[in-house]
A and B are shown apart, each in its own frame.
Chain A
């Protein structure tokens, strides 16, 4: 039985599928199998929690009428702002055409879809009647409810993200440009509406106000950038697809954005605390006091401020620790900080109860400790995202796409944006030129100290890649003939090869005399024409300056 997909036919015979899965499992490196096992356990824990949370009215959660929104809402907000932040961070490459952010394209899109789907899953588990929500929101829209708008915007955002993923893997350049632009716009609109869900509540002084949506968008940018920092360190460290430019360009670029996001969020958090300390509203004062010196002080001062803001900023700003590993550490800490931030935010809004039913004295602090079910669902959600992303990293072609450089619609500003596909590029233009250079900005690699990444990410030859122990690709021979590979992404990269050859009339490679010494990966392609290189041999994939060359 065959399933036709594009120009391929997939075998749907269960025996063949099982055999392939078995062969694949055998060929999977042991370290990767252990990683799968760990994530599988996390997902299993989450699944058990999810099943427990299916019963309306008896979900096994620890929330009370006083603290009605607990860890599941925190988890939803965390994943929802992270998915937006991924889009915001990568829009610098996908929308504004800054070349050094282009390695983010595919990975951000896949991660964003995974985070958003996870967010939807978590919120569905938090609701007592999630199916009613779908029909109710569609058939009885309440325009006065920010929650309704939030659902609409995140739903639209999901559609744009899926379009983005589809167009980048199936090479629809114009659709991809539009999808990137629209999803980036939605990445601002959706989290700010999520902020409005909290911000409209006059009953909760700590949440109330126009400040909340801004803080939510800032946290989104921080979370997305931090996650990309972690992912790209891993990509560069394990030599995953497209690791050369990811290590040389994306990690330093993410470091810059991460610093900006950390400073931005720190300023907003400081402002929020100053407002709270000087407030006359008893609810706001009580919440702020709870954060500074009350039951939330450990979470807020310890985790949110010191671990989540001060430590990452210090790591990134001190030259000794600002390398790629610093980006990993700062990204991880910032992610923890964003989660703690959302946790303290949701808790602080409810810690000054509106009534005395749950307390004994005036201004009693409401208490809430998450149940095992809630913690399990959170753990499972994290495992779910990590597991699916690992599978995507292993089985999808996440190299940089040749789909577009920046935004190629009417948004051209003089000669600054000159979108070109590789196929369009005349031969006399150096294929290593970047948008930054066109715009007169310093070369992208200026931000990457040449002495830094070779230490962290040595650029190996193809043989070294295959032999590298931690690589996910070590079970897949790099010398696979084109004719034998069949999955779509490989065909896509072959397209790029063909197009380059057609445009230049030359085989892909260092055709122009202006190009500096080519990187090792390109050498392989030229030296062994019968072998398909792991990375597309399109000239733009070359590290773009001669300074990097040996």
Chain B
């Protein structure tokens, strides 16, 4: 049966014909033709590469939040949370969500408030109903299904630690998340591929992928997002939204290059702790009065 798809060119059935590649003559004319054909291909691919480079190689930091007069190398931002002062009202969470267009649910949040309850046998229980947006209603219980006597309770505001040795920037395959010269870690929304690697790499659970419909400033869904210390505010000389709203002054943000700033003073004079120091991430968020071992 002859296959109608194939028209035999005459050589295939002749066993005397050498069909090895070496036996097929290549003329100088064919080589020249190939060269001539390759030239526009080369030129085209070079142009395409240039166009793509311009497309992808955006400036490292988004231009928008940085004012022209701001010099990142002149600042070293740090954050202090006073766990003794926090009353768990959740206004910081609301302010952050409104300021940064973060969805009003508990899973997508740049900052949240946990309640740490340490029982008499030293076990730490944590809870954060609705990420602390509505505070902590009296009915909620901390010590779990088998309540034990609670010895200590405190509210612990959480946010991105802006680690100096940050796992998120190390693992991002395309360099979309990066650390600025002043120590804040940002995400380039035009470069992020939405793989979620930084989300699983963060030991502090501070990252999420923006869901569709979120009112982010740029409205880009599917990219990683996290606390930036309200970078668009601190670069303009203002305080982060959560710091500004806190009624008891439990949140402080300042410049370590300024020896007289509030955070410099506290870090110099008072005992502070960081979370998960054993991981060696060197967080820039320090806690005053944080209790319990497993944090």
Question: Number of contact residues on B: which range applies?
Answer: 35 or more
Do the beta carbons of B107 and A58 come within 8 Å of each other?
no
* Min distance, Cβ B26 to any Cβ of chain A, angstroms: 15
Known: A65-B107, A495-B19. A350 touches B200 (CB 8 A): yes
Do the beta carbons of B209 and A136 come within 8 Å of each other?
no
- List CB contacts (< 8 Å) of A498-545 with chain B: 498
Is B11 close to A, CB under 8 A?
yes
Is A354 close to B, CB under 8 A?
yes
Is B218 close to A, CB under 8 A?
no
Do the beta carbons of A359 and B127 come within 8 Å of each other?
yes
Is B277 close to A, CB under 8 A?
no
| B4, B112, B131 pick with most chain A CB within 10 angstroms | B4
- List CB contacts (< 8 Å) of B149-204 with chain A: 158, 167, 170-176, 191-197, 199-204
Give Cα A491 to B8, complex, Å. Answer: 11
Is A142 close to B, CB under 8 A?
yes
B15: chain A residues within 8 A (beta carbon): 494, 498
B171: chain A residues within 8 A (beta carbon): 144-147, 200-201
A355: chain B residues within 8 A (beta carbon): 112, 114, 128, 158, 204-206
Q: Which residue of chain B has the shortest Cβ distance to A283 in the bound complex?
A: B203
Do the beta carbons of B114 and A16 come within 8 Å of each other?
no
Is B68 close to A, CB under 8 A?
no
Give Cα A483 to B210, complex, Å. Answer: 62
* Min distance, Cβ B156 to any Cβ of chain A, angstroms: 9
Is A412 close to B, CB under 8 A?
no
- List CB contacts (< 8 Å) of A138-153 with chain B: 139-142, 144-148, 151
Q: Which residue of chain B has the shortest Cβ distance to A152 in the bound complex?
A: B173
Stretch of B48-56, B245-253, B264-272, B282-290 on the interface side: B48-56
Give Cα A545 to B197, complex, Å. Answer: 54
Binary A-proximity of B71-99 (CB < 8 A = 1, otherwise 0): 00000000000000000000000000000
Is A311 close to B, CB under 8 A?
no
Give Cα A191 to B107, complex, Å. Answer: 32
B196: chain A residues within 8 A (beta carbon): 63, 68-69
Binary A-proximity of B105-119 (CB < 8 A = 1, otherwise 0): 011110010100000
Is A276 close to B, CB under 8 A?
no
* Min distance, Cβ B229 to any Cβ of chain A, angstroms: 19
Is B235 close to A, CB under 8 A?
no
Is A413 close to B, CB under 8 A?
no
A354: chain B residues within 8 A (beta carbon): 202-205
A483: chain B residues within 8 A (beta carbon): 8, 13
Do the beta carbons of A139 and B52 come within 8 Å of each other?
yes
Do the beta carbons of A135 and B5 come within 8 Å of each other?
no
Known: A56-B222, A133-B174. A140 touches B205 (CB 8 A): no
Do the beta carbons of A56 and B221 come within 8 Å of each other?
yes
Do the beta carbons of B108 and A136 come within 8 Å of each other?
no
Known: A56-B194, A142-B175. A487 touches B6 (CB 8 A): yes
Stretch of A3-11, A255-263, A370-378 on the interface side: A3-11
B193: chain A residues within 8 A (beta carbon): 127-130, 132-133, 136
A11: chain B residues within 8 A (beta carbon): 4-7
Is A35 close to B, CB under 8 A?
no
Question: Number of contact residues on A: which range applies?
Answer: 35 or more
Known: A2-B7, A11-B5, A147-B195. A136 touches B173 (CB 8 A): yes
Q: Which residue of chain B has the shortest Cβ distance to A123 in the bound complex?
A: B195
Report whether over half of chain A's contact residues are helix, strand or loop; otherwise say mixed: loop
Is A321 close to B, CB under 8 A?
no
Do the beta carbons of B167 and A201 come within 8 Å of each other?
yes
Do the beta carbons of A202 and B144 come within 8 Å of each other?
no
Is A362 close to B, CB under 8 A?
yes
* Min distance, Cβ A72 to any Cβ of chain B, angstroms: 10
Q: Which residue of chain B has the shortest Cβ distance to A197 in the bound complex?
A: B197
B194: chain A residues within 8 A (beta carbon): 56-57, 127-129
A142: chain B residues within 8 A (beta carbon): 172-175
Is B129 close to A, CB under 8 A?
yes
Do the beta carbons of B5 and A17 come within 8 Å of each other?
yes
* Min distance, Cβ B215 to any Cβ of chain A, angstroms: 12
Do the beta carbons of A362 and B9 come within 8 Å of each other?
no
Is A64 close to B, CB under 8 A?
yes
Is A37 close to B, CB under 8 A?
no
B172: chain A residues within 8 A (beta carbon): 142, 145
Do the beta carbons of B213 and A486 come within 8 Å of each other?
no
Q: Which of A126, A130, A357 contacts B205 (CB 8 A)?
A: A357
Q: Which of B1, B8, B108, B173 contacts A65 (CB 8 A)?
A: B108
| B114, B145, B173, B214 pick with most chain A CB within 10 angstroms | B173
Is B100 close to A, CB under 8 A?
no
Known: A130-B193, A200-B171. A57 touches B212 (CB 8 A): yes
Is A482 close to B, CB under 8 A?
yes
Q: Which of B55, B175, B203, B213 contacts A203 (CB 8 A)?
A: B203
Give Cα A486 to B204, complex, Å. Answer: 63
Known: A136-B173, A360-B127. A7 touches B202 (CB 8 A): no
A203: chain B residues within 8 A (beta carbon): 167, 200-204, 279
Do the beta carbons of A140 and B222 come within 8 Å of each other?
no
Do the beta carbons of B143 and A361 come within 8 Å of each other?
yes
Known: A136-B173, A355-B114. A202 touches B12 (CB 8 A): no
Do the beta carbons of B173 and A57 come within 8 Å of each other?
no
List the 8 shortest-distance A-B pairs measured between CB atoms, nearest first. Answer: A57-B221, A128-B194, A128-B222, A486-B6, A136-B174, A56-B222, A355-B205, A58-B212
Name A's B-contacting residues (CB within 8 A).
Answer: 2, 4, 7-11, 16-17, 19-20, 55-59, 63-66, 68-69, 126-130, 132-133, 135-137, 139-142, 144-148, 151, 172, 197, 200-204, 282, 349-350, 353-362, 477, 480, 482-487, 491, 494-495, 498
Q: List 14 A-B contacts (CB under 8 A).
A: A56-B222, A57-B213, A57-B222, A58-B221, A65-B199, A128-B195, A147-B197, A151-B173, A203-B201, A350-B200, A355-B206, A359-B126, A480-B1, A484-B3
Query: 19 new A-B pairs (CB below 8 Å) besides A56-B220, A66-B107?
Result: A10-B5, A11-B7, A20-B3, A55-B212, A129-B222, A132-B191, A133-B174, A135-B55, A136-B174, A140-B191, A144-B170, A144-B171, A202-B167, A204-B200, A350-B200, A356-B126, A357-B205, A480-B1, A486-B6
Name B's A-contacting residues (CB within 8 A).
Answer: 1-9, 11-13, 15, 19, 21, 52-53, 55-57, 106-109, 112, 114, 123-129, 131, 142-145, 158, 167, 170-176, 191-197, 199-214, 220-223, 279-280, 294
